Structure 1
Amino acid sequence: MAFSKDFLMGQKEKLLKHKMRVMNTMKENYHTEVIAQTEDTIEDGDQAQIYTNQNVSFSLQKSSIKTLHDIETALEKIEKGNYGICEETGEPIETKRLEKQPWVRLSLEAQEELERQEKKFLRAA
């Protein structure tokens, strides 16, 4: 399935806007974390809360980094002419799915299968 030039340019614009949002959020989270760590008084009970906040912050940062990577991959695919192809099946990804999440790398069916496999793995562990 070949996408129109207008569709691809629209997707590129969405990707670039989302990239900026993610980067701004990461920057804000970093500054918030730095401020929290440099406060003068830390009571004993606050230490546990700081640790919890750091774990949450790390998880959010990790998720944001993955999203940025996926956005960069999608932008590269637009340039190379293979945008919208499922990395697992090689089949086209549904247009509606791409419109909702332009950086998506898998078709809905492939994503569902991946999630089933992850659940099986977690149950076995």
Structure 2
Amino acid sequence: MNSFINETIIMECRKKLLLQKQEILNRFRTAQREYIHTEKSGDEADQSVAHIAEHSFLVSQERMRNQLLEVEMALARIETGNFGMCEETEEPIEVERLLAVPWTRLSIEGAELREAVSRKYAR
């Protein structure tokens, strides 16, 4: 367990993660219901609009799946006692950062390091 983060902070983050999970699942279901009820027939223009709507739906579903995965992984880190440790620096993540983005896996320094490496190899 990260000794720099007290149990109160961990429980607050857990509560935020569970709320975020519920919100993502609700958005997922709402988007699915709305997509099912969209018109998928008609002339060429209607079909083009339906195709664009389908693409948008699939992109948003993928984004929500990724968000849900991050939340689930953070909840698992709480359970295993690894919550609040930066994957990049192996140092504690700032409490303010965890409270703002409880699913984060990187400290500010770790995020900057990862960004610098990705910029270096993006060339």
TM-score normalised according to structure 2 size = 0.85
Residue 110 of structure 1: CA displacement? Answer: 2.4
Matches of 2:52 and 2:121 in 1, distance apart?
Answer: 27
Q: Which runs of 5+ in 1 are unaligned?
A: none
- 1:64 is matched with which residue? 64
109-118 or 18-27: bigger deviation:
109-118
Pick closer, same or farther for the CA change 1:115–1:50 going to 2, 3 Å.
farther
Determine whether 1:20 maps to 2:22.
yes
Equivalent in the alignment of 2:80: 80
- Report the alpha carbon displacement of residue 21 of structure 1 after superposing the two structures with TM: 0.2
Q: 2:89 maps to what in 1?
A: 89
The aligned runs of 1:107-118 (5 Å cut-off) are 107-118=107-118
Rate the CA distance shift 1:40–1:14 in 2: closer, same or farther, 3 A: closer
Structure 1 stretch displaced more, 47-56 or 71-80: 47-56
Map 1:3-42; keep pairs closer than 5 Å: 3-36=5-38, 39=39, 41-42=41-42
Aligned residues with identical type, % of pairs: 31
Return the TM-score normalized by structure 1. 0.84
> How far did 1:50 drift?
1.7
Which structure would you say has the larger RCO, counting Cα contacts within 8 Å and 6 or more residues apart?
Answer: 2
* AA aligned opposite 1:92: P
Following TM superposition, the consecutive aligned residue runs of length 4 or more in structure 1 with deviations greater than 6 angstroms are none
Return the alpha-carbon distance in structure 2 between the equivalents of residues 40 and 55 of structure 1: 13
Q: Distance in 1 between matches of 2:109 and 2:50?
A: 40
Q: Aligned equivalents of 1:54 and 1:115: distance in 2? A: 32
Indicate the SS of the match to 1:103.
coil
Instruction: Assess, with a 3 A threshold, how the Cα gap between structure 1 residues 28 and 93 changes in structure 2: closer, same or farther.
Output: same
Query: 1:26 corresponds to which letter in structure 2?
Result: F
